[in-house]
Structure 1
Amino acid sequence: MYLQKNRLSHLIYYSLFLFSSNSYAEKIIYNQNDVFKQNDTLTIASSGSFRLQSLIFDEYNSTNDALKSRRDGYNSFSKISLSSDYKFANDWHFIIGSETYINYPKILRWHGRYQKSDSTLTANQLYTGFKNNRIGTFKFGKINDLFYDVVGVKTDLADYTPIAQPLDYSNQSAFDGTGSANRTLRYETSYKKLDFYSAYLFQDTNTNYSTTTFKRKYGLQVATEYHFTPKFSWANAYQYNNGNLSSNSSGEQKKYNGHVLGSSLFYTDNKWLLSVGINYTKNILPTKSGIIQTAYNSETFGIESYAGYKFNINQYSVQNIRPYILETHFKYINGRNFKQNNFGIGTAVKFKYGIGLDIEHYFTSDTVNTPDLTLLRLRFDY
């Protein structure tokens, strides 16, 4: 039952992978010197992406029948990011960052384009901190996990959802270190060609899932990225999460220790964009049997790869066209009989003024007979 229900959400996520731009450059909306005192500087910047998406399955069955409404178009993780940088002394900056998912069809009451259970606004990140050009950067608040920000994003080229990563499968991503988590303290620094990241996740409040309560005691994260050249890099990350699982009915408790390990290679230039990433998890994703009895007790393996080539057009309002192919594999090594392979082909067309159109088709083979699908996406990025 859980697997079938979980697949309904995954069917959406699996279709969200394309290249539009590896990351959208922030637009400066305010930049002023001598704001509060002499020689200080305040900079405020923003970026955003609004996406309307449609899913068309080759056939509808018990696993995706509830998604028929998605054919008419729905919001696909539209978001707005805001950041501020206040330089108050030589080499010292006070920073604030936020990222909010916006379900604009629900805000506009665009019936048929959202579900009642959908959130209107979701604060995915909200943090503050200090930056020093020599010492590094400290951040505290709700922040993306290091695995995703350093390793996973290399193959999540749409920059808003992975395909074969633990973030997509976890039902506790806000607490188990696979997604953005509250009470995160992160440190970032660079030395020559090496970028270094570390994070500590403090104890968080309880979160309920079905008949189970999960409570994080603490988490540890570390990641590195080595830049062989400005165009080619190698990223690695490891995460550990310590917590407790308890039954809401019997009160039975189990200690929980989760691990995530991953690596990715990434290459980009004016034409090509190539990437491949792998990940391994232990005790992160729930098993098909009872969560309390097994304490998750699972091992999974995932791999993602992508290759795209850009043709510059610069005519008739079309800036470029990027055909691409992608492939993903995900399987439970222990804990559940589930695996899935995806092969996708698509074309991303970028017009002027930040407008884009994406057409994709996915060939899927898995243990729950997920049908192939075609995806259409209209987007506006700034």
Structure 2
Amino acid sequence: MKFKMNRVSQLIAAGVLLGGASFAAQAEITLLKQDPQANDPLSRLDFKVGGSIRPQVINTMGGSDKGSYKNNGYDGGTRFRFTADYFLFDDIHWVGYYELGVNIPAVFDWDHHYSPGANNTTRRQLYTGFKSDTYGTLTFGQQNSIYYDVVGIKTDNWNDDMLAQAPGNGINGDYDGSYRSRKMLKYKYAAGPVDLYAAYLFSDDDYYVGSTGNNLAYKRKGGGSIGANWHIAKDLSWGAAYNVTSAEMKNRAKSDSKDYDQHILGTALTWAPGPWNFSAGGGWYHNFLATKLSDEQNYFAGNAYGIEYYASYTIPVDSYAVKSVKPYVMGDHLKYVSGRNYSRTDNGLGVNVKFAYNFSVSYEHMFTNSTDNIGDLNLVRLTYDF
């Protein structure tokens, strides 16, 4: 079934049809609550479901995006998550997590509201492992990278973000180890106020770069990460992480290839006293950002760096179905030091209004100054959390 929808009806359909299915929904729903009883294996299981539905519109000023799916209204990252925790013995638990991304307009085949060729669904995360208060947590599968856990997440606070940090700028964060890393063995241990992390990245399948006719492929051969997150105080934490990935760029048309050692090193700080939230972070990227060339011998830029900042203040309302209003300022700067003449700086203003029944609306305006003359943009997102 194909039909066109205007921007307003797209937002209403995606946000209300699915989001409004349960007005009394909680931020997360517990289907099975863990309460171990003798001779009852199921009582050891805790099982939760949750998710977020996110229709949004982006308008680039100057009309450069007129008629685009983003300008018409599209899915801004709808996801559904399933969490399992099974008590084994002492303080040892088996854990599992699955997060599915759903492109609602693509599922319903709404013309001009999703990117051509976009998948209906995407596996965002899928991992399993064991956790213990004494020995730490060991998991394997596709999961958040250490870099994102301790650095990127601290400034991942607004909608049009991650424009200058490693998880949002590599060839593909699922493959290069920077974001939701595939085939990763990850360990976390709480040493007092400091969370220590280590990970190993196994070899992965080829990732074909579509813009080059599928002749150019990225191959992760291995890698690893370390990181630490220091909880300096209840509302203050500082994190740092380093990741190295051994990769190969292959050109099937020319039977040629080149090896790259990719490095990302970053740090970030977040401070959230009362209604305030301040965060800032930055990273250095070597052989990590693409040069936008169809050349395996020069695909990655030698060096680049990025910084991000965010500050917000939450005003409680609790009246007329409005729970709170949160104005915020945010920004970033990305700069290629070698391999490509490119830089981008964004500074913006935003506001988030939370309503009853887990609905919220965000508006953002970004002032952009970039080498490729990207226009300023306006973003509106409707969110329903459950």
Q: TM-score, normalised by structure 2?
A: 0.87
Q: How far 1:36 sits from its partner (Å)?
A: 8.6
Aligned to 1:88: 88
1:359 and 2:363 correspond: yes
- Measure, in 1, the Cα distance between the counterparts of 2:177 and 2:323: 39
Aligned-residue RMSD, C-alpha: 2.0
Tell me if the contact between 1:77 and 1:160 (Cα under 8 Å) persists in the aligned partners: no
Q: How far 1:355 sits from its partner (Å)?
A: 0.4
Aligned to 2:29: 27
Q: How far 1:376 sits from its partner (Å)?
A: 1.1
- Superposed CA offset, 1:327-353 (max 9, x none): 110110111111101011011000011
- Measure, in 2, the Cα distance between the counterparts of 1:66 and 1:281: 35
- Measure, in 2, the Cα distance between the counterparts of 1:34 and 1:324: 44
Aligned to 2:150: 150
Q: How far 1:283 sits from its partner (Å)?
A: 0.3
Matches within 5 A, 1:1-382: 26-34=28-36, 37=39, 41-61=44-64, 64-65=65-66, 67=68, 69-158=69-158, 162-209=162-209, 210=212, 211-289=215-293, 291-294=295-298, 296-382=300-386
- Measure, in 1, the Cα distance between the counterparts of 2:310 and 2:201: 31
Residue type matched to 2:80 in 1?
I
- Measure, in 1, the Cα distance between the counterparts of 2:205 and 2:37: 39
Tell me if the contact between 1:363 and 1:373 (Cα under 8 Å) persists in the aligned partners: yes
- Measure, in 2, the Cα distance between the counterparts of 1:372 and 1:58: 5
Tell me if the contact between 2:152 and 2:167 (Cα under 8 Å) persists in the aligned partners: no
Tell me if the contact between 1:286 and 1:298 (Cα under 8 Å) persists in the aligned partners: no
- Measure, in 2, the Cα distance between the counterparts of 1:361 and 1:56: 10
Tell me if the contact between 1:255 and 1:295 (Cα under 8 Å) persists in the aligned partners: no
Residue type matched to 1:329 in 2?
H
- What secondary structure, in the 3-state scheme, does the structure 2 residue paired with 1:334 have? coil
- Measure, in 1, the Cα distance between the counterparts of 2:300 and 2:60: 32
Tell me if the contact between 2:348 and 2:364 (Cα under 8 Å) persists in the aligned partners: yes
- Measure, in 1, the Cα distance between the counterparts of 2:164 and 2:90: 44
Q: How far 1:86 sits from its partner (Å)?
A: 0.1
Aligned-residue identity in percent: 31
Q: How far 1:33 sits from its partner (Å)?
A: 3.3
Between 164-173 and 232-241, the greater mean CA deviation after superposition: 164-173
- Consecutive unaligned residues of structure 1, counting only runs of 5 or more, are 1-23
Q: How far 1:35 sits from its partner (Å)?
A: 7.2
- Superposed CA offset, 1:18-47 (max 9, x none): xxxxxx964322114347945862101122
- Measure, in 2, the Cα distance between the counterparts of 1:254 and 1:70: 36
- Superposed CA offset, 1:98-119 (max 9, x none): 1111112222333442234121
- Superposed CA offset, 1:149-168 (max 9, x none): 22101000148962211222
Tell me if the contact between 2:332 and 2:347 (Cα under 8 Å) persists in the aligned partners: yes
Tell me the matched-pair count: 356
Tell me if the contact between 1:254 and 1:295 (Cα under 8 Å) persists in the aligned partners: no
- Consecutive unaligned residues of structure 2, counting only runs of 5 or more, are 1-25
Residue type matched to 1:340 in 2?
R
- Measure, in 2, the Cα distance between the counterparts of 1:330 and 1:30: 45
Residue type matched to 2:174 in 1?
A
Tell me if the contact between 1:53 and 1:378 (Cα under 8 Å) persists in the aligned partners: yes
- Measure, in 1, the Cα distance between the counterparts of 2:226 and 2:197: 6
- Measure, in 2, the Cα distance between the counterparts of 1:254 and 1:71: 39
Residue type matched to 1:230 in 2?
K
Q: How far 1:281 sits from its partner (Å)?
A: 0.4
Describe the shift of the 1:197–1:155 C-alpha distance in structure 2 as closer, same or farther (beyond 3 A).
same
Between 197-206 and 109-118, the greater mean CA deviation after superposition: 109-118
Q: How far 1:51 sits from its partner (Å)?
A: 0.8
Tell me if the contact between 1:35 and 1:42 (Cα under 8 Å) persists in the aligned partners: no
Aligned to 1:14: none
Q: How far 1:297 sits from its partner (Å)?
A: 4.1
Tell me if the contact between 2:202 and 2:221 (Cα under 8 Å) persists in the aligned partners: yes
Q: How far 1:65 sits from its partner (Å)?
A: 4.9
Describe the shift of the 1:206–1:35 C-alpha distance in structure 2 as closer, same or farther (beyond 3 A).
farther
Describe the shift of the 1:288–1:34 C-alpha distance in structure 2 as closer, same or farther (beyond 3 A).
closer
Q: How far 1:77 sits from its partner (Å)?
A: 0.7
- Measure, in 2, the Cα distance between the counterparts of 1:86 and 1:380: 29
- Measure, in 1, the Cα distance between the counterparts of 2:326 and 2:84: 33
- Measure, in 2, the Cα distance between the counterparts of 1:160 and 1:86: 37
Q: How far 1:295 sits from its partner (Å)?
A: 5.3
Aligned to 1:4: none
Tell me if the contact between 2:70 and 2:113 (Cα under 8 Å) persists in the aligned partners: yes
- Measure, in 2, the Cα distance between the counterparts of 1:295 and 1:112: 32
